Amino acid sequence: MPDAISLRTTAKSGEAKASSRATLADPRRATRLVLAIFLGPALLVYCGLTAYPAFRTIYDSFFTIEGMDATFVGLANYRDLMGDETFWVAVRNTFIWSFVAPVIDVATGLLLALALYAGVPFARFLRVAWFTPVLLSYVVVAILWMWIYNYDWGVLNVMLRAVGLGDLASSWLGDPNLALAAVIVTHAWKWAGFNMVVCLAAIHSLPKEVLEASDLDNCGWGAKLRYIIVPMLRPTLLSLYILSFIGKMKVFDLVWIMTQGGPLWATETVSTYVYKRAFNWNTFDLGYPSAIATVWFLVVCAAVIILNRVLGSRERLEY
Amino acid sequence: MAAFLAAASGRAPLPRLFSRGILALVLGVYTIYQLGPFLWLATMSVRTTAEISADPYAWPSPMHLDQFRTAWVDSDFATYFWNSTMVVVGAVAVLTFIGAAAAHALARYRFRGNRLIYGILFSSIIFPPQITLISLYQILVDYNLYNSLFGLALVYISLQLPLTVYLLEGFFARIPQDLFDAAKMDGYGDLEIFWRIVLPVGMPAIATTLILNFIQLWNEFLFAVVLITDPDKRTLPIGIRAFMGDHFQDIGMIATGVMISVIPVIVVYVFFSEKLIRGMTAGAIK
**Selection from B58, B60, B59 nearest residue B46 by Cα:** B60
In angstroms, the CA B153 to CA A41 distance is 15
Percent of chain B clearing pLDDT 90 (strictly above): 31
Percent of chain B clearing pLDDT 70 (strictly above): 93
At residue A183, the pLDDT reads 92
Q: Is residue A239 part of a domain?
A: yes
- Domain of A117: which CATH number? 1.10.3720.10
Q: Report yes or no: A200 and A123 within 8 Å, Cβ to Cβ.
A: no
Output DSSP code: residue A164: T
Q: Is residue A235 part of a domain?
A: yes
Beta bridge partners, A72, equal A63
In degrees, rounded to 5, the angle at the alpha carbon of residue B262 between the alpha carbons of residues B258 and B263 is 120
Share of chain A residues as helix, strand and coil, in percent rounded to the nearest 5: 75, 5, 25
Contact B157 A35 (CB under 8 A): no
A11 and A125, same domain (yes or no) = no
Q: Minimal Cα distance from A153: which residue of B?
A: B56
At residue B5, the pLDDT reads 42
Q: Report yes or no: A56 and B132 within 8 Å, Cβ to Cβ.
A: no
Judging contacts by C-beta atoms under 8 Å, the chain A residues touching residue B45 are: none
In order of A29, A132, B106, B177, the CA distances from A21 in angstroms are 11, 54, 22, 19
Helix/strand/coil (H/E/C) assignment for every residue in chain B: CHHHHHHHHHHCHHHHHHHHHHHHHHHHHHHHHHHHHHHHHHHHHCCCHHHHHHCCCCCCCCCCCHHHHHHHHCCCHHHHHHHHHHHHHHHHHHHHHHHHHHHHHHHHCCCCCHHHHHHHHHHHHHCCCHHHHHHHHHHHHHCCCCCCHHHHHHHHHHHHHHHHHHHHHHHHCCCCHHHHHHHHHCCCCHHHHHHHHHHHHCHHHHHHHHHHHHHHHHCCCHHHHHHCCCHHHCCHHHHHHHHHHHCCCCHHHHHHHHHHHHHHHHHHHHHHHHHHHHHHHHHHCC
Q: Is residue A74 part of a domain?
A: no
Averaged pLDDT for residues B158-185 = 88
Q: How many other CB atoms are found less than 10 A from the CB of residue B263?
A: 14
Give per-residue pLDDT as tens, B38-55. Answer: 899 888 888 888 888 888
At residue A12, the pLDDT reads 42
Which helix (H) or strand (E) segment holds residue A58: the answer is: helix A52-60
Contact A24 B184 (CB under 8 A): yes
User: Is the confidence at residue B286, as pLDDT, over 70?
Assistant: no
Query: Chain A to chain B, count of Cβ pairs less than 8 Å apart?
Result: 272
A199 and A307, same domain (yes or no) = yes
Residue type, A118: A
Contact B104 A54 (CB under 8 A): no
At residue B7, the pLDDT reads 42
Taken in order of first residue, the domains within chain B and their CATH numbers are 15-67 (no CATH), 76-246 (1.10.3720.10)
Q: How many folded domains does chain A comprise?
A: 2
At residue A8, the pLDDT reads 42
Show the domain range for A95: 81-311
In angstroms, the CA B129 to CA B152 distance is 14
Q: Computed over its alpha carbons, how large is the radius of gyration of chain B?
A: 25
Please state the ipTM of this predicted complex: 0.86
User: Is the confidence at residue B285, as pLDDT, over 70?
Assistant: no
At residue B13, the pLDDT reads 59
Q: Minimal Cα distance from A294: which residue of B?
A: B131
User: Is the confidence at residue B246, as pLDDT, over 80?
Assistant: yes
Q: Which site among A37, A65, A143 would you substitute to test the B interface, given the most B Cβ atoms closer than 10 Å to its Cβ? A: A143
Contact A294 B131 (CB under 8 A): yes
Give per-residue pLDDT as tens, B120-155. Answer: 888 888 888 989 999 999 999 999 999 999 999 999
Instruction: Kindly give, in sequence order, each residue whose CB lies less than 8 Å from that of residue A297, ignoring residues fewer than 6 positions away.
Output: A54, A57, A58, B127, B128, B130, B131
Q: Is residue A63 part of a domain?
A: no
Q: Report yes or no: A118 and A225 within 8 Å, Cβ to Cβ.
A: no
Q: Is residue A36 part of a domain?
A: no
A219 and A303, same domain (yes or no) = yes
What confidence tier does B191 reach under pLDDT thresholds 50, 70, 90?
confident
User: Is the confidence at residue B252, as pLDDT, over 60?
Assistant: yes
A234 and A300, same domain (yes or no) = yes
Percent of chain A clearing pLDDT 90 (strictly above): 28
Give per-residue pLDDT as tens, B72-129. Answer: 888 888 999 999 999 999 999 999 999 999 999 998 888 888 889 998 888 888 888 9
Which helix (H) or strand (E) segment holds residue A198: the answer is: helix A179-204
At residue B189, the pLDDT reads 84
Q: Report yes or no: A289 and A306 within 8 Å, Cβ to Cβ.
A: no
At residue A25, the pLDDT reads 54
Q: Is residue A92 part of a domain?
A: yes
Judging contacts by C-beta atoms under 8 Å, the chain A residues touching residue B221 are: 137-139, 252-253, 256-257
The whole-chain average pLDDT of chain B stands at: 85
Q: Report yes or no: A197 and A236 within 8 Å, Cβ to Cβ.
A: no
Give per-residue pLDDT as tens, B224-244. Answer: 999 998 889 999 999 998 888
Averaged pLDDT for residues B198-211 = 89
In angstroms, the CA A9 to CA B81 distance is 62
A19 and A149, same domain (yes or no) = no
Nearest Cα of chain B lies from the Cα of A8 at a distance, in angstroms, of 26
Positions in chain A short of pLDDT 50: 1-23, 313, 315-319
Judging contacts by C-beta atoms under 8 Å, the chain B residues touching residue A28 are: 108-110, 177
Contact B110 A29 (CB under 8 A): yes
At residue B84, the pLDDT reads 93
At residue B86, the pLDDT reads 94
